[in-house]
Amino acid sequence: MTPLSLFPEPSRLRLTKSPMALTAELVARCHRAEPDPGPEQGYSEFTEAEYDAAAAALMRQKAPGPLWLFAYGSLIWKPDFDSVEHRRATVHGWHRAFCLELTRWRGSPQRPGLMMGLQRGGRCDGIAYRLPDGDHAGQIGRLLRREVSGPDGMHAVRWLRADSGSEKLQALTFWVGTAEVDYLVKLPLTEVAHILARACGHIGSGAEYLFHTVSKLEEFGIRDRNLWRLQQLVAEEIRQMTESITAEPRR
């Protein structure tokens, strides 16, 4: 059995007042205009009818009661959904990781990026949102249209048990690691930092994604120690990368 101490775990200590090393100014250095390359050749995208069918399938797996969504990354700082309540919650047995390779969105075919998902082991502190009562299938369909482009992505959508302290919640969660997703990667933080400092797609950069995620988690009093270390590493990468460019002699 692998010791839990080997897995990333959010700090349980009171957050210090130390500022983030990764700043908005550093993030701005990573931005560049990139065209949308569109879906990869051979990649199947959902039709509207298929989105509705996928939402109906998830509804059949849902227990009676409220509709909860567990957010641990961009769904916290860019929700794009309506909620009537939110609680800090913990999912046990999973941890955040930049483990999804991107050649679109926040990466390109020439310089792939990374997006966060959940991988096995440890724990993940995030936010559970309760969505409005009524038309749960429609609300799930809206989330699917935001998070999933086609049938391949549905392998990483599942219901997880989230512990809100006073209650165990069944919560819909996106990008939960599974062997059926063939674009998962496992990289050390130094390599992740190297990628995030350089990757950019048509909707933004990897550094921007990390910056917003860590900033919002801090607002909720959540410090994921691996993400905190990662933002420090990405800040260092950006400084070294941009300062070396400006230091080059003109010819």
DSSP string of 216-246? HHHHTT--BHHHHHHHHHHHHHHHHHHHHHH
- Closest by CA to 171, choosing from 29, 45, 65, is 65
Q: How many Cα atoms sit within 13 Å of 13 on the Cβ side? A: 5
**Cα-atom radius of gyration of the chain, to the nearest Å?**
19
In angstroms, the CA 204 to CA 190 distance is 21
Joined together, the tokens standing for residue 50 give 């298929």
Among residues 45, 101, 147, 218, the one annotated as catalytic is 147
Cα–Cα distance between 238 and 31 in angstroms, integer? 11
Q: Residue 73: which residues within 8 A CB-CB, separation 6 or more?
A: 96, 115, 116, 209, 213
What is the greatest pairwise CA distance in the chain?
69
Instruction: Give the span between the Cα atoms of 21 and 180, in whole angstroms.
Output: 36
For the question of residue 25 being annotated catalytic, the response is: no
Decide if 227 contacts 124 (C-beta within 8 A).
no
Enzyme catalytic residues = 147
